[in-house]
Chain A
Amino acid sequence: MSKSFVQPRTLRQALRHPFTRLRIEALRHLDLTVTEGTATGLLGPNGAGKTTLLRVLSAALLPDRGEVRILGLDIARNGREIRRRVGVVLSEERSFFWRISARENLRFFSVLCELESERARRRIEELVEMLDLGQFIDRPFRLLSTGMRQRLTLARALLHDPQVLLVDEPTRALDPGAAEKIIRLLREQVVGKMKKTLLVATHQLHEVGELCDRLAFMKNGRIEQEGRTAELLPQAREFFGTLE
């Protein structure tokens, strides 16, 4: 029987607005179960709470109420251990050091992920090959295209060989060719070859159709529906339609 890998229960999260400083309820009594080895797509419009949920699951945000278990560990007490086992791809290309090379960036983050130096070197080489980063790995980060940066973000998240990968809008700001490449990498390498448990937040229907076994529809900080992709995907257009 497959194990529950990611399990937020009756999760509530209020966030402070960056300018007005008012508290906004971003997650309301949210429940979800992601099982081992599956690829789950979180579908929802902007502001549904997808990114907030991923931030809570990566232990970057502490939940106000409710319980989150990742690989059986309580996130409130085991944040550091969870960060050892979870990789995060936030759609934030600014999260690298722009003046140094892509390789130096990976090398730096590998030390923070506590990889021993020889293992880090080998792991970087593996990822460079797997994600086809070879041509530009020694270029300064600032000279890379958006597609290259997104692949580098994926490489960084996989450095410590995490069991769970949380991915936020993997194809945002990418042209169709680069977007297709990222989805293929996630499907063939991350899920297919590396057998990672994947949770992807997006609002691109065709991506989840290609990539995910299961879907969860999110609206107003809640999971509205969850189930197998084949069953839910036909309803997705209707779900998005009701939001307009």
Chain B
Amino acid sequence: MNFLRKCAAFIRKDFLIDISYRVAFFGQLVFVIFLVAAFYFFGRMLEGVRVESLQPYGGKYFPFVLVGVAFSSYLGVAVRSFADTIRSAQVLGTLEALLNTPTSPGQIIVMSALYDFLSTSLRVVFTLLAGWLFFDVSFAGANWAGALLVLLLCIVSFSTLGIFSAAVVLIFKKADPSSWLVQGFSYLLGGVYYPVAVLPGWGQALANVLPITHALEAMRMLILKGATLAEVSNSLLWLGAFCLAAGPISIWIFLLALRRVRRDGSLSHF
């Protein structure tokens, strides 16, 4: 019960802070429309051209990239949110006050990212809705229940990378190479804007170890092709195994980092 109340308290606090910047709050929703429109016109450029690597996803570029852009935003928020939370709490001076409460540091770091995930979900829904309402993308036959399961695995697996990144920020303060490395490789190789099949052999091999590749592959098959969970079981198994292996390791590294800064007194440094 306490856990849920704490989650609600973090979400309420972050919502009140977010809404206090009204222009930015509504501006990001308007930006979604511009982004979706830009990809729509890019897709029109390819109309009438048969692109072999797009055939498994229905053959059209716009729905392919719409799903890729929408769900890859979870990677950005997961990788950045935990580290940004630590960083801004260090700079704002709230980190020590939060950690002086009986709530465990692990809970604080997870709950601090909840609002970002919720607002990203709102943007994802808005992105898909914009594609459906204004740009004629059809989601008829989509397996939404399956997509929800993949989304859960996708959030957990991306979050393990984010928690690791937060540990780096705790110790090194601003420098966080892990964040841009993960995002750089994921956007380059993970199949966000183009199918992994267009990459050279070494690129495809690297793409196969990235969680985003499996998350987007499963998501596109479920949403655009109405695939069953059995048909995307390889991606599900890979994501599940990644969560089980990387989850405990990233939390362990974070707690080690926290112990170190609590010992050397650099917890509130920035």
Binding site for B on A (CB under 8 A): 13-16, 18, 23, 26, 52, 55, 58-62, 64, 80-81, 83-84, 88, 90, 92-100, 104, 107-109, 111-114, 117, 140, 156, 160
Given A92-B93, A96-B94, A52 and B13 touching (CB < 8 A)? no
Contacts of B97 in A (CB 8 A): 90, 92, 95-96, 109, 156
- B94:A112 contact, CB within 8 angstroms: no
Q: What are 26 A-B residue pairs whose CB atoms fall within 8 Å in the complex?
A: A16-B264, A16-B266, A16-B269, A23-B264, A60-B96, A61-B265, A62-B259, A62-B263, A83-B100, A83-B101, A83-B102, A93-B93, A94-B92, A94-B93, A96-B97, A99-B20, A100-B16, A108-B9, A108-B10, A108-B12, A111-B8, A112-B6, A112-B103, A113-B102, A114-B102, A160-B102
A227 to B229 alpha-carbon distance, docked (Å): 73
Contacts of A55 in B (CB 8 A): 265
A240 to B200 alpha-carbon distance, docked (Å): 73
A98 to B91 alpha-carbon distance, docked (Å): 13
Contacts of A64 in B (CB 8 A): 263
Per CB-CB distance, the 3 closest pairs between chain A and chain B, nearest first, are: A94-B93, A15-B265, A95-B97
Counting chain A CB atoms within 10 Å of each CB, which of B16, B100, B264, B266 scores highest?
A: B100
A16 nearest in chain B by CB position: B264
Contacts of A90 in B (CB 8 A): 96-97
CB distance from B262 to the nearest CB of A (A): 5
User: Is B45 an interface residue when CB atoms closer than 8 A count as contact?
Assistant: no
The residue that B102 contacts in the complex, of A18, A52, A84, A96, with Cβ under 8 A, is A84
Contacts of B102 in A (CB 8 A): 80-81, 83-84, 112-114, 160
CB distance from A12 to the nearest CB of B (A): 12
Given A18-B269, A23-B264, A107-B9, A88 and B16 touching (CB < 8 A)? no
Contacts of B94 in A (CB 8 A): 94-97
Binary interface encoding of chain B residues 4-24 relative to chain A, with 1 for a CB under 8 A from any of its CBs, else 0: 011011101100110011000
B100 nearest in chain A by CB position: A88
A141 to B98 alpha-carbon distance, docked (Å): 17
Contacts of B6 in A (CB 8 A): 111-112
User: Is B104 an interface residue when CB atoms closer than 8 A count as contact?
Assistant: yes
CB distance from B265 to the nearest CB of A (A): 4
Given A23-B264, A95-B94, A100 and B101 touching (CB < 8 A)? no
Secondary structure type dominating chain B contacts: helix
The residue that B262 contacts in the complex, of A26, A60, A99, with Cβ under 8 A, is A60
CB distance from A23 to the nearest CB of B (A): 7
B103 nearest in chain A by CB position: A112
A84 to B92 alpha-carbon distance, docked (Å): 24
Contacts of B10 in A (CB 8 A): 108
Name the interface size band of chain B: 20 to 34
Counting chain B CB atoms within 10 Å of each CB, which of A98, A111, A113 scores highest?
A: A111
The residue that A97 contacts in the complex, of B17, B99, B100, B265, with Cβ under 8 A, is B17
A84 to B2 alpha-carbon distance, docked (Å): 14
CB distance from A77 to the nearest CB of B (A): 13
Contacts of A81 in B (CB 8 A): 102
User: Is B267 an interface residue when CB atoms closer than 8 A count as contact?
Assistant: yes
- A100:B20 contact, CB within 8 angstroms: yes
- A111:B99 contact, CB within 8 angstroms: no
The residue that A112 contacts in the complex, of B9, B16, B267, with Cβ under 8 A, is B9
The residue that B98 contacts in the complex, of A15, A52, A112, with Cβ under 8 A, is A112
- A61:B20 contact, CB within 8 angstroms: no
The residue that B265 contacts in the complex, of A26, A96, A111, with Cβ under 8 A, is A26
CB distance from A224 to the nearest CB of B (A): 22
- B13:A14 contact, CB within 8 angstroms: no
Contacts of A88 in B (CB 8 A): 100
- B101:A113 contact, CB within 8 angstroms: yes
- A62:B100 contact, CB within 8 angstroms: no
A111 to B6 alpha-carbon distance, docked (Å): 6
Contacts of A104 in B (CB 8 A): 12-13, 16
A64 nearest in chain B by CB position: B263
Contacts of A18 in B (CB 8 A): 266, 269
B97 nearest in chain A by CB position: A95
A84 to B94 alpha-carbon distance, docked (Å): 18
- A100:B17 contact, CB within 8 angstroms: yes
Contacts of A156 in B (CB 8 A): 97
A80 to B99 alpha-carbon distance, docked (Å): 10
Contacts of A112 in B (CB 8 A): 6, 9, 98, 101-103, 108
